[in-house]
């Protein structure tokens, strides 16, 4: 143990003189940690959305056999048939047909945002929104071209704030309120009076989806099973609200995986080779010193352990830097991802957890172990005489 500690102390002192190589390893480790932590934070943020995205007491009905509100539709006759069927088989349901569309919203200076979801809602729709609250401003009034904006859109699009005017269809609308709800996906939407939005987009009496609220999850499940069996007469898809949003979030998570996992693999290989090169340069520069230590009695095992330990310590330091940078940049940052089913953006916060940080640090340590192995053993396998001569 004393030999190991002495070797470790000498290696640390020697490493302080190899600033370029140490800095290179630190940067590699910090970069890898940052990328992995950002990726994991995105996945955790999306996973947390599932927990608050919907309720098992509510159903979402989609027409035309669709899995998305964008291409779903119900006409007035279909809605009346469904209402009759549902009222006959359940007690006190709340039924709310809604309009849904995607638009590029332009403000007064004709700037355009990314694709944003607009939802037409009525009084019954608001009854179905769990813990719906107005953060600022007021509720829009029926019969007036007024809108409410989800609070997650405000930070991304400041010009969607209170009293701002935007164009929907060919008409000018004014934003009168900012809302929040535990149905987190809805906080990335704009809401307005369903009848006026139907007129603005020439939808007539066409709705995109129907939401139904029940007193308990068992009633919702029973009606969902019945409706899915009735879809020969009225082509529809019935899901609980939680199932519907979980399916969308799973799609978004898969998209993140497709983009991020190959990128992380490439980054691991790149940083691994860079770290390997830096370790090789640092160890080669010390080959005379290493040979002399072996000549005066330090064992190869002690030297290898100390070199490995220094490598791990440098990588851990780099990982800590990467974590601190990630926390500094992304703690208050909102992530934006395209919902492929609704073709609109969903805004959600990064969720940086200690478990994610631990995984990132372990990955950095694993990279240190792998990249430090070849140069360490090459150096220690060299004969003492050759080491002293080449040094």
Q: Tell me what the mean pLDDT of segment 280-293 comes to.
A: 66
**Structure tokens, 75:** 């006409």
> Which DSSP string corresponds to 66-106?
-SSTTS--B-HHHHHHHHHHHHHHSSS-EEEEEEEEEEEEE
Verify that 206 and 303 share a domain, yes or no: no
Give the pLDDT of residue 340.
65
User: What is the rounded CA–CA span in Å between residue 147 and residue 39?
Assistant: 34
CB-based contacts of 2, cutoff 8 Å, min separation 6: none
Verify that 73 and 90 share a domain, yes or no: yes
**Domain interval for residue 131:** 58-247
Residue 154: which pLDDT band, with cuts at 50, 70 and 90?
confident
Model-level pTM?
Answer: 0.71
Quote the number of domains for the chain.
2
Q: Tell me what the mean pLDDT of segment 353-375 comes to.
A: 83
Verify that 322 and 222 share a domain, yes or no: no
User: What is the rounded CA–CA span in Å between residue 216 and residue 218?
Assistant: 6
Verify that 271 and 297 share a domain, yes or no: yes
Q: Tell me what the mean pLDDT of segment 324-352 comes to.
A: 75
Verify that 150 and 14 share a domain, yes or no: no
* DSSP 8-class letter at 129: S
Verify that 66 and 15 share a domain, yes or no: no
CB-based contacts of 102, cutoff 8 Å, min separation 6: 70, 115, 116, 117, 118, 342, 343, 344
Verify that 205 and 286 share a domain, yes or no: no
SS3 call for 354: helix
Q: Is the pLDDT of residue 343 over 70?
A: no
**Structure tokens, 349:** 């916060």
Residue 50: which pLDDT band, with cuts at 50, 70 and 90?
low
Q: Is the pLDDT of residue 295 over 80?
A: no
User: What is the rounded CA–CA span in Å between residue 124 and residue 79?
Assistant: 15
Q: Where do we find the tokens 């631990």?
A: 358
User: What is the rounded CA–CA span in Å between residue 79 and residue 206?
Assistant: 9
The enclosing H or E element of 336 equals: strand 334-339
Verify that 225 and 305 share a domain, yes or no: no
Verify that 181 and 122 share a domain, yes or no: yes
| Residue where a domain terminates, one of 193, 218, 247 | 247
The DSSP bridge partners found for residue 165 are 174
| Residue where a domain terminates, one of 199, 229, 247 | 247
**Structure tokens, 207:** 């709705």
Verify that 275 and 337 share a domain, yes or no: yes
**Structure tokens, 225:** 């099973």
At residue 286, what are phi and psi to the nearest 5 degrees? Answer: -110, 15
pLDDT in tens, 81-124: 889 888 888 888 999 999 998 877 655 555 555 678 899 998 88
SS3 call for 229: helix
| Residue where a domain terminates, one of 214, 247, 280 | 247
User: What is the rounded CA–CA span in Å between residue 72 and residue 94?
Assistant: 20
Instruction: Count Cα atoms within 13 angstroms, Cβ side, for 59.
Output: 29
Verify that 221 and 279 share a domain, yes or no: no
- Positive or negative: CA dihedral 321, 324, 329, 331: positive
User: What is the rounded CA–CA span in Å between residue 169 and residue 148?
Assistant: 17
Verify that 242 and 257 share a domain, yes or no: no
User: What is the rounded CA–CA span in Å between residue 80 and residue 375?
Assistant: 76
Give the pLDDT of residue 191.
93
In terms of pLDDT, which residue wins out, 240 or 369?
240
The DSSP bridge partners found for residue 239 are 60
The DSSP bridge partners found for residue 60 are 211, 239
């Amino acid at each position: 143990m004393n030999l190991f500690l002495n070797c470790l102390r000498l290696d640390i002192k020697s490493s302080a003189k190899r600033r370029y190589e140490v800095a290179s390893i630190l940067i590699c480790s910090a970069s890898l940690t940052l990328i992995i932590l950002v990726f994991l934070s995105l996945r955790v943020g999306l996973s947390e959305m599932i927990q608050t995205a919907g309720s098992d007491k509510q159903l979402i009905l989609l027409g035309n056999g669709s899995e998305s509100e964008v291409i779903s539709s119900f006409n007035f006759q279909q809605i009346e048939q469904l209402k009759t069927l549902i009222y006959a088989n359940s007690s006190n349901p709340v039924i709310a047909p809604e309009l849904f569309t995607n638009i590029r919203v332009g403000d007064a200076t004709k700037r355009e945002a990314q694709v944003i979801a607009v939802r037409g809602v009525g009084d019954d729709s608001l009854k179905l929104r769990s813990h719906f609250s107005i953060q600022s401003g007021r509720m829009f009034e029926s019969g007036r071209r007024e809108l409410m904006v989800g609070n997650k859109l405000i930070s991304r699009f400041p010009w969607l704030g209170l009293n701002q005017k935007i164009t929907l269809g060919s008409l000018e609308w004014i934003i009168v309120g900012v809302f929040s709800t535990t149905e987190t996906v809805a906080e990335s939407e704009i809401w307005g009076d369903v009848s006026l939005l139907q007129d603005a987009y020439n939808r007539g009496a066409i709705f995109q989806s129907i939401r139904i609220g029940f007193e308990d999850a068992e009633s919702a499940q029973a009606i969902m099973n019945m409706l899915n069996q009735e879809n020969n007469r009225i082509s529809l898809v019935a899901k609980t609200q939680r199932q519907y949003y979980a399916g969308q979030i799973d799609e978004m998570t898969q998209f993140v995986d497709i983009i991020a996992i190959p990128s992380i693999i490439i980054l691991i290989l790149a940083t691994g080779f860079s770290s390997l090169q830096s370790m090789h340069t640092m160890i080669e520069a010390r080959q005379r010193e290493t040979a002399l230590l072996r000549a005066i009695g330090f064992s190869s095992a002690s030297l290898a352990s100390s070199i490995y330990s220094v490598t791990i310590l440098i990588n851990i330091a780099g990982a800590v830097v990467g974590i601190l940078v990630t926390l500094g940049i992304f703690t208050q940052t909102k992530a934006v991802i395209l919902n492929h089913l609704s073709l609109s953006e969903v805004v959600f916060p990064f969720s940086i957890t200690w478990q994610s940080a631990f995984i990132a640090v372990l990955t950095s340590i694993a990279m240190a172990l792998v990249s430090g192995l070849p140069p360490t053993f090459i150096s220690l396998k060299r004969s003492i005489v050759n080491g002293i001569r080449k040094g």
